[in-house]
């Protein structure tokens, strides 16, 4: 989990997941009772719970907790938000960064909430295209705005570890609405997210 709190687990859920993971270990030809694997089913179960914790959060509600009136109408960007997710096709990790831009129309959101929205949607079984679109929709539907844009760049272990096994590939997805349908606005956004970190 992304915060520093010690996570609380439902012991029944952990044990149910662990029993399935133990069976998978056996089916793979390993001995789940050998020293290195004795606690693996429980550890793996907790890792799965952590990595799918987004199902318990509502991105729209996160935004609504920190909305503020604002008279400006210039672009707001939070860039390079790190994320980790699980590919729904192979349950292997994909990870990268997401940048979000929006044009306020009377209100702004606390910046950390955008990062929390990313977390809420990434910590699920996902595909990158839907992840990008979901974040765009959540921001668009919960902040008064004149346009929203989201760009996601990610590396997929299902392409690196199996299948085509191409190590240097990355995937870029983009979603936008409102004022960002204008090519000039898109270009301004992309120019700004390319600015070097200070």
- The set of catalytic residues is 87-90, 128, 156, 158
Q: Which two tokens stand for residue 18?
A: 């662990």
Alpha helices (runs of H) in 28-166, residue ranges in sequence order: 40-51, 59-64, 111-122, 128-142, 157-160
Which residues lie below 8 Å from residue 147, measured CB to CB, with a gap of 6+? 102, 103, 176, 177, 178, 179, 180, 181, 185
Q: Which residues contact 187 (CB under 8 A, 6 or more apart)?
A: none
Phi, psi (degrees; rounded to nearest 5) at 78: -115, 115
Q: Is 106 exposed, middle or buried (0-12, 13-18, 19+ CB in 10 A)?
A: middle
* Ramachandran angles phi, psi of 96, nearest 5°: 170, -140
Structure tokens at 46: 């907790």
* Residue 11: burial class (beta carbons within 10 Å; 0-12, 13-18, 19+): exposed
């Amino acid at each position: 989990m992304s915060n520093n709190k010690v996570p609380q687990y439902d012991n029944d859920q952990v044990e149910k997941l662990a029993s399935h993971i133990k069976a998978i270990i056996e089916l793979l030809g390993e001995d789940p009772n050998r020293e290195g694997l004795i606690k693996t089913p429980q550890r793996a179960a907790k890792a799965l719970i952590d990595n799918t914790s987004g199902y318990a959060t509502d991105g729209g509600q996160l935004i609504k907790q920190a909305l503020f009136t604002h008279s400006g109408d210039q672009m707001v960007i939070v860039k390079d938000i790190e994320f980790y997710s699980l590919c729904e096709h192979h349950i292997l990790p994909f990870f990268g960064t997401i940048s979000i831009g929006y044009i306020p129309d009377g209100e702004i959101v606390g910046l950390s909430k955008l990062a929390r929205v990313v977390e809420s949607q990434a910590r699920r079984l996902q595909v990158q295209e839907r992840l990008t679109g979901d974040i765009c929709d959540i921001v668009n539907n919960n902040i008064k705005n004149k346009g929203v844009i989201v760009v996601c760049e990610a590396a997929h272990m299902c392409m690196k570890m199996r299948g085509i096994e191409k190590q240097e590939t990355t995937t870029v997805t983009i979603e936008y609405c409102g004022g960002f349908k204008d090519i000039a606005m898109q270009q301004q956004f992309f120019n700004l997210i390319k600015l070097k970190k200070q």
